[in-house]
Amino acid sequence: MTTATNRAVRELAEQSYQYGWTTDVEEESVPPGLNEDIVRWISARKGEPEWLLEWRLRAFRHFMTLLDDARLPAWANVSHPPVDFQAIRYYAAPKAAAELSSLDEVDSEILRTYEKLGIPLEEQKRLSGVAVDAIFDSVSVMTTAKETLAKYGVIFSSVSAAVQEHPDLVRKYLGSVVPYSDNFYAALNAAVFSDGSFVYIPPGVRCPLELSTYFRINAQESGQFERTLIIADKGAYASYLEGCSAPMRDENQLHAAVVELVALDDAEIKYATIQNWYPGDENGKGGIYNFVTKRGKCAGARSRISWTQVETGSAITWKYPSVILQGDGSTGEFYSVALTKGRQQADTGTKMTHIGKNTSSRIISKGISAGRGNNTYRGLVKVLPNAENAVNYTQCDSLLIGDQCGAHTVPYIEAQNRSASVEHEASTTRVSEDQIFYCQQRGLTREAAQSVIVNGFVREVVKRLPLEFSVEADRLLEVNLEGTVG
Amino acid sequence: MSASANSATAWAEQFHAFERNGAAGAPQWLANLRRSAFGAFERAGFPTARRGNEPWKYTNVRPIAESVFTIAEPNAEASVDLAPYELPCPRVHRLTFVDGRYAAHLSTEPASEAELRSGALWRGGDGPVVGRLADAVEYRVPLAQERLGSLASAEDDAFTALNTAFLRDGAFVHVPAGAVVPEPIHLLFIATGRSAAATHPRALISADADSSATVLMSFESLDGGAYFTNAVTEAIVGPGANLRLCALQRESAGAFHIASTRIRQARGSRVSSVVVDLGGRLSRREISAALEEPGAEVSLCGLYYGDGERHMDNRAFVDHAAPEATSSEIYKGVLDGASRGVFCGGALARPGAQKTVARQTNKTLLLSPGAEADSQPKLEIFADDVSCTHGSAVGQPDADALFYLKSRGIGADAALALLARGFMSEVIAAIEDGAVRQRVEDAVAARLGGGA
Residue B174's identity, in one-letter code, is: H
The span from the CA of A134 to the CA of A196, in Å, is 9
CA angle A235, A241, A242 (to 5 degrees): 140
Question: Are the beta carbons of B376 and A413 separated by less than 8 Å?
Answer: yes
Q: What percent of chain A has pLDDT over 70?
A: 79
- Which residues of A lie inside 8 Å of B (Cβ-Cβ)? 1, 74-75, 385, 398, 400-430
Average pLDDT over residues A106-130: 60
A353 domain residue, yes or no = no
pLDDT digits (tens, 9 = 90+) for A159-210: 888 999 999 999 999 999 999 999 999 999 999 998 888 999 999 999 888 8
Last residue of a domain, one of A286, A319, A352: A319
pLDDT band with cut points at 50, 70 and 90 for residue A99: very low
CB B423 within 8 A of CB B365: yes
A266 domain residue, yes or no = yes
Stronger pLDDT, A379 or A7, i.e. the higher one:
A379
> With an 8 Å Cβ cutoff, is B310 touching chain A?
no
For chain B, residues with pLDDT lower than 50 are 1, 450-452
Which residues constitute the domain of residue A89? 18-319
Q: Residue A97 pLDDT more than 60? A: no
Strand pairing category for A268-275 and A252-255: unpaired
Alpha helices in B381-433 (DSSP H): 399-407, 412-428
Tell me, rounded to whole angstroms, the distance of Cα A318 from its chain centroid. Answer: 10
Question: Are the beta carbons of A74 and B52 separated by less than 8 Å?
Answer: yes
Helix axes A433-441, A446-462, angle to 10 degrees: 110
B270 domain residue, yes or no = yes
Question: Are the beta carbons of B351 and A398 separated by less than 8 Å?
Answer: no
Of the residues B394, B396, B416, B419, the best mutation for testing chain A's interface (the one with the most A CB atoms within 10 Å of its CB) is B394
A13 domain residue, yes or no = no
Helix axes A446-462, A467-481, angle to 10 degrees: 140
Which chain A residues touch B380 with a CB distance below 8 Å?
A: 406, 408
- Please state, as a whole number, how many other Cβ atoms lie within 10 Å of the Cβ of residue A127: 9
Q: Which of B118, B138, B259 is nearest to B187 (CA)?
A: B259
CA angle B331, B333, B338 (to 5 degrees): 150
B positions 142-171 inside 8 Å of A (CB): none
- Please state, as a whole number, how many other Cβ atoms lie within 10 Å of the Cβ of residue A360: 19
Q: Which residues contact A398 (CB under 8 A, 6 or more apart)?
A: A366, A367, A368, A369, A375, A377, A407, A408, A409, A426, A427, A428, A429, B379, B381
- The count of structural domains within chain B is 1
CB A321 within 8 A of CB A271: yes
- Please state, as a whole number, how many other Cβ atoms lie within 10 Å of the Cβ of residue B112: 9
Q: Is B120 exposed, middle or buried (0-12, 13-18, 19+ CB in 10 A)?
A: exposed
Question: Are the beta carbons of B369 and A415 separated by less than 8 Å?
Answer: no
pLDDT band with cut points at 50, 70 and 90 for residue A404: confident
Average pLDDT over residues A419-424: 92
Last residue of a domain, one of A292, A319, A346: A319
pLDDT digits (tens, 9 = 90+) for B243-300: 999 999 999 999 999 999 999 999 999 999 999 999 999 999 999 999 999 999 999 9
pLDDT digits (tens, 9 = 90+) for A40-61: 998 998 889 999 999 999 999 9
The pLDDT value given to residue A311: 87
Alpha helices in A46-193 (DSSP H): 50-68, 108-117, 146-151, 159-165, 167-173, 184-192
pLDDT digits (tens, 9 = 90+) for A66-80: 988 887 777 788 888
The span from the CA of B289 to the CA of B303, in Å, is 18
Q: What percent helix, strand, coil does chain B show, rounded to 5?
A: 25, 35, 40
A346 domain residue, yes or no = no
The model's pTM is 0.88
Note whether A146 and A277 are same-domain residues.
yes
The pLDDT value given to residue B7: 80
What is the four-CA torsion angle of B179, B184, B185, B187, rounded to 10 degrees? 160
Q: What percent helix, strand, coil does chain A show, rounded to 5?
A: 25, 35, 40
Nearest to B392 among A416, A424, A427 (CB): A424
CA distance readout (Å), B429 to A42, A135, B303, B426: 67, 62, 11, 5
The pLDDT value given to residue B73: 76
B81 domain residue, yes or no = yes
CB A157 within 8 A of CB A188: no
Last residue of a domain, one of A319, A340, A372: A319
Q: Residue A339 pLDDT more than 90? A: no
- The count of structural domains within chain A is 2
A421 domain residue, yes or no = no
A331 domain residue, yes or no = no
Measured in angstroms, the CA of B341 and the nearest CA of chain A are apart by: 10
The pLDDT value given to residue A413: 94
Question: Are the beta carbons of A424 and B389 separated by less than 8 Å?
Answer: no
CA distance readout (Å), B408 to A86, A383, B405, B413, B420: 74, 34, 5, 14, 17
The pLDDT value given to residue B274: 97
The span from the CA of A180 to the CA of A170, in Å, is 15
Average pLDDT over residues A417-431: 89
Residue A38's identity, in one-letter code, is: I
Measured in angstroms, the CA of B412 and the nearest CA of chain A are apart by: 17
B111 domain residue, yes or no = yes
B382 domain residue, yes or no = yes
Stronger pLDDT, A322 or B51, i.e. the higher one:
A322
CB B366 within 8 A of CB B400: no
B437 domain residue, yes or no = yes
A394 domain residue, yes or no = no
Q: Residue A115 pLDDT more than 80? A: no
CB B166 within 8 A of CB B197: no
Average pLDDT over residues A322-334: 96
Which residues constitute the domain of residue B384? 75-448
- Name the 3-class secondary structure at B424: helix
DSSP per-residue string spanning A233-302: -TT-EEEEEEEEE----SSEEEE--EEEEEE-TT-EEEEEEEE------TT--SEEEEEEEEEEEE-STT
Nearest to B380 among A1, A408, A427 (CB): A408
pLDDT band with cut points at 50, 70 and 90 for residue A456: confident
The pLDDT value given to residue A116: 65
CB B413 within 8 A of CB B384: no
The span from the CA of B180 to the CA of A25, in Å, is 81
Residue B12 phi, psi (nearest 5): -65, -45
The span from the CA of A432 to the CA of A452, in Å, is 12
CA distance readout (Å), A14 to A8, A78, A199, A481, B131: 10, 22, 39, 11, 61
Q: Which residues contact A69 (CB under 8 A, 6 or more apart)?
A: none
Q: Which of B59, B57, B62 is nearest to B311 (CA)?
A: B59
Question: Are the beta carbons of A426 and B377 separated by less than 8 Å?
Answer: yes
B36 domain residue, yes or no = no
pLDDT band with cut points at 50, 70 and 90 for residue A117: low
Nearest to A418 among B351, B367, B393 (CB): B367
The span from the CA of A379 to the CA of B151, in Å, is 32
Complex ipTM: 0.84
Which helix (H) or strand (E) is B14 found in, with range?
Answer: helix B3-20
CB B372 within 8 A of CB A415: yes
B433 domain residue, yes or no = yes
- Please state, as a whole number, how many other Cβ atoms lie within 10 Å of the Cβ of residue B180: 13
- Name the 3-class secondary structure at B400: helix
The pLDDT value given to residue A342: 84
What length does chain B have? 452
Q: Is A123 exposed, middle or buried (0-12, 13-18, 19+ CB in 10 A)?
A: exposed
DSSP per-residue string spanning B132-163: EHHHHHHTT-HHHHHHTTSSS-TTT-HHHHHH
A302 domain residue, yes or no = yes
pLDDT digits (tens, 9 = 90+) for A274-315: 888 888 877 778 888 889 999 999 999 999 999 999 888 888
Nearest to B384 among A74, A424, A430 (CB): A430
